[in-house]
Amino acid sequence: MRERKLAVLLALVATASVNVLAQDKYPTRPVRIVTATPGGGNDFLARIVAPPLGNAIGQQIIVDNRPSRLVGGIAARSTPDGYTLVVGGSTMQYTPLMEKIDYNAITDFTPVSLLERSPNVLVVTPALKVNNVSELVAMARAKPGVLNYGTGASGASLHLAGELFMKATNTKLVRVPYKATGPAVLGLLTHEVQLVFATAGAVVPLLKDGKLKALGVTTAEPTPLVPGIPTIAQQGVPGFELVTIGFILAPAKTPQPIVRLLNQHIVKLMQRPDVKERLAAGGSDATSSSPEELGRIMREDDARMRKLFKELGLTADS
Common-topology check for domains 2-117+244-312 and 119-235: yes
- 3-state class (DSSP) for residue 213: strand
Residues 274-280 have a mean pLDDT of 95
Exposure of 228 by Cβ count < 10 A (0-12 exposed, 13-18 middle, 19+ buried)?
A: exposed
- CA–CA separation, 89 vs 94, rounded Å? 9
Question: CA of 70: how far to CAs of 44, 77, 96, in Å?
Answer: 18, 11, 11
Checking if the pLDDT of 212 tops 70, the result is yes
Q: pLDDT grade, residue 3 (50/70/90)?
A: low
Spatial CA neighbour of 42 closest among 83, 77, 82, 85: 85
Output the pLDDT for position 4: 55
Question: What is the pLDDT of the chain when averaged over all its residues?
Answer: 90
> In 190-249, which residue ranges form alpha helices assigned H by DSSP?
200-208
Phi, psi of 112 (to 5 degrees): -115, -60
Checking if the pLDDT of 224 tops 70, the result is yes
Sketch the domain layout of the chain as residue ranges.
2-117+244-312, 119-235
Answer yes or no: CATH 3.40.190.10 is held by domain 119-235: yes
Q: pLDDT grade, residue 98 (50/70/90)?
A: confident
- 3-state class (DSSP) for residue 26: coil
Torsion of CA 158, 160, 164, 165, to 10 degrees: 10
Spatial CA neighbour of 167 closest among 232, 226, 213, 215: 232
- 3-state class (DSSP) for residue 209: coil
62-75 residue pLDDT tens: 999 999 889 999 99
- CA–CA separation, 246 vs 35, rounded Å? 11
- CA–CA separation, 223 vs 241, rounded Å? 13
CA 216 from centroid of its chain's CA atoms: 19
- CA–CA separation, 219 vs 243, rounded Å? 6
- CA–CA separation, 94 vs 218, rounded Å? 18
- CA–CA separation, 285 vs 23, rounded Å? 32
Of the options 3.40.50.300, 1.10.3210.10, 3.40.50.920, 3.40.190.150, the CATH number for the domain spanning 2-117+244-312: 3.40.190.150
